[in-house]
Structure formats: C-alpha cells, structure tokens
Amino acid sequence: MTARVEELRANLTAVEQRIAAACAAAGRPRADVTLIVVTKTYPASDTRLLSGLGVTDVAENRDQDAAPKAAECADLTLRWHFVGQLQTNKVRSVLRYADCVHSVDRLRLVTALSNEVRKSGRRDLGCLIQVGLEGDTPEAQARGGVAPARVEELAEAVSSAPGLRLDGVMAVAPLVGPYAGDPRAAFDRLAEIASAVRKAHPAATMVSAGMSGDLEEAIAAGATHVRVGTAVLGARPPLR
C-alpha cells in the first residue's frame, strides 16, 4: 500500500505538471482546469489513497463497478462523475452517488434522469451533453454521444427538465470519422458547440474533454475538465 501511494503521488505530480504547462502555453490560469481522475477498473482503496493525496473529483464509467466503490468511499469528500454510456435501468443506482453525469446523449435518458431525481428527493443533478464527433459512422452509435446538429434540442430538454441542471458539454476524441487522429480539431469543434450552448444557457460552462493521451490539446482548445485515468493509475487490463 505504501508503494502504491508513492506511485500515485508521483503520477499525480507528473499529470499536474502537464496540466500546468498546458495552461501556461494556452495563456489560461491553472484554476480554469479541474482534474477528474478516472478510477474505473481500480479498487476503492486507490480512490481512498487519491482522496488523501488531494484529488477532489473522480469518475467511473460502469455502474456495476462504481456503485459498490462509491459506497465504500462514502465517508470521503469527493465529487463523483459518471462518464460511461448510461442505460435507463441504471439511472436510479447512479443517482445514489453521482454528482454529475457527463454522458447525456438522448431524450429518453433526460426523461429517466429527471423522473428519478424527483423520486430520490435530491435537489438536482448536473448534466453534460455528450457530443459524438464520429460523424456518420457505425462507431458513432457504439461510443455514445449526440450528433452536433441535435445538441441544442437536447440542451433545451435538459434545462427544462425538473431536477436537472445543464452544466455543459463533453466529448471523447474520435477514433474514426472526420476528426480521427486530430484531437485538437475535434476539441476545437467541441469548443464551438460549447459556446453555442452557452448563448442559450449561460450557466453551462463546463467543457469536459481530454484524457491521458490528449489533455494538452483539450486544454489548448478550452477544456475546463480533463478526465485522466491511465496517466494517474497505470495501464488498465484489456477490456473484459
């Protein structure tokens, strides 16, 4: 455990240096960017160590793993972000721990989230519209995300849904389509979309973009939240 905490500390320091350098290069204050550590596939003990090292925000992408982990860490002061594709039958469980859902990408999910927030008695839930930048490819379906042309409609639906708060937009740099291999162009496109959303919804200021491999490009393009897994926790085993 001691070795693990030192490993996490060193990785966090390296990621912090990358974020600070990217902010400096972009002429942005460091405080503009929040690090969210993606703890998926790693045990609750790592989440606990990260909290002890000053991490304030963590993310998970599968409710089956996240729910027990969040329960084990209920005594910690952490903001939990849900960043994976969300089935409507998991919404109730996710609402028990998530402060913010980054993967809102369809009207049916908006309705389900709103209904469950009201039933749960919690005040509200932060929502980001996940934008799919894969273009018209089969992969667009698999990775989630709403097409850019439909973002405004969905943003309107979230902002008028009782119990939901529209916080901004999220994207993953696409592996296929017009932006494949060019994360900076993808994140610039996301920034345009974010700015259009803010015109109608000024409080929707979050831009969640950038992972271990492309956080510099995301910060250059204006990301306010980077979601970093591998660079902090180490390489994950291949998907089960």
Question: Where does this chain bind ligand PLP (CB under 6 A)?
Answer: 38, 40, 61, 83-84, 172, 211-213, 227-231
Q: Which is nearer to ligand PLP, 204 or 231 (CB)?
A: 231
As measured in angstroms, the least distance from the Cβ of 98 to ligand PLP is: 14
Size of the chain, expressed as the number of residues it contains: 240
Measured from the CB atom, the residue of 81 and 163 that comes closer to ligand PLP is: 81
The three-point CA angle 106-132-93 to 5° equals 45
The nearest distance, CB 84 to ligand PLP, in angstroms, is 6
Please identify, using beta-carbon distances, which residue of 8 and 163 lies nearer to ligand PLP.
8
Q: 69 vs 227, which CB is nearer to ligand PLP?
A: 227
Distance between the two ends of the chain, CA-based, in angstroms?
Answer: 25
CA distance 104 to 169: 9
Burial class (CB in 10 A: 0-12, 13-18, 19+), 121: exposed
Alpha-carbon span 83 to 98, nearest angstrom: 10
Give min distance, CB of 194 to ligand PLP, in A.
17
Q: Which two tokens stand for residue 233?
A: 């926790």
Nearest distance from residue 19's CB to ligand PLP, in Å? Answer: 13
